[in-house]
């Protein structure tokens, strides 16, 4: 199991399951807020129950390509990308990783790559979405990976909407 920051925020206890658990270095940085979350995280790492591991660059590149394809790249943090890349790397090692996350963009990309995920608080996604960005003022359409947050014509902040949706295949 690969744990995202949202798993710790949701109160996931690494000692509650027996399977191997992994996370990435950037999650450690993100869990610094709440003292109980930080203590649970540190205790799990120090006991060896939770392994902190950085994914290889080649897997990061594959994740970015997949996220770009569905249009979620712009909405994923570096920690999110690392979580996805680590799951992909573990799968390449003939393990069967599952990502514990309530982040819909992570779930969308994980499904795109054929990686299982588990929601902790939310119901999770029902459809894999391919996104389109657009200007709500002048209606200009942009590809999902368009870099700017503003419309090049009128300067309005861009929004996103589903271009396509596909019923989710659960593994």
State the pTM of this model: 0.80
- Look up residue 153 and give its DSSP letter: T
Element (H, E) at 3: strand 2-3
Burial (Cβ within 10 Å: 0-12, 13-18, ≥19) of residue 170: exposed
By CB atoms closer than 10 A (0-12, 13-18, 19+), residue 49 is middle
pLDDT at 34: 64
pLDDT of residue 171: 45
Name residue, tokens 């591991």.
53
CA pair distance 33, 121, nearest whole angstrom: 19
Beta strands in 43-171 (DSSP E): 50-52, 98-100, 116-118, 127-134, 141-142, 159-167
Number of helices (H) and strands (E) in the chain: give both, helices first: 6, 8
Strands 141-142 and 159-167 turn out to be: unpaired
Pairing of strands 159-167, 127-134: antiparallel
**Domain 2-118 is in which class?**
alpha beta
- List the chain domain ranges: 2-118, 127-167
pLDDT digits (tens), the chain, 171 positions: 999 998 988 888 888 888 899 999 999 888 876 688 888 888 999 999 999 999 999 999 999 999 988 888 888 999 999 999 999 999 999 999 999 999 989 999 998 899 999 888 777 777 777 788 899 999 999 888 788 889 999 999 999 888 777 777 654
């Amino acid at each position: 199991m690969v744990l995202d920051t949202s798993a710790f925020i949701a109160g996931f206890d690494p000692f509650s399951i027996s399977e191997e658990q992994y996370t990435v270095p950037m999650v450690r940085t993100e869990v610094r807020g709440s003292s109980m979350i930080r203590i649970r995280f540190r205790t799990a790492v120090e006991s060896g129950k939770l392994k902190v591991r950085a994914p290889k660059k080649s897997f990061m590149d594959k994740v970015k390509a997949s996220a770009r394809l569905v249009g979620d790249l712009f909405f994923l943090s570096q920690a999110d990308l690392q979580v996805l890349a680590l799951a992909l790397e573990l799968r390449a090692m003939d393990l069967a990783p599952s990502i514990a996350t309530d982040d819909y963009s992570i779930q969308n990309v994980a499904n795109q790559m054929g990686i299982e995920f588990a929601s902790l608080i939310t119901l999770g996604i029902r459809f894999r979405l391919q996104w389109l960005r657009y200007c709500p003022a002048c209606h200009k359409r942009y590809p999902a990976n368009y870099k700017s947050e503003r419309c090049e014509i009128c300067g309005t902040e861009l929004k996103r909407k589903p271009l396509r949706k596909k019923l989710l295949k659960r593994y």
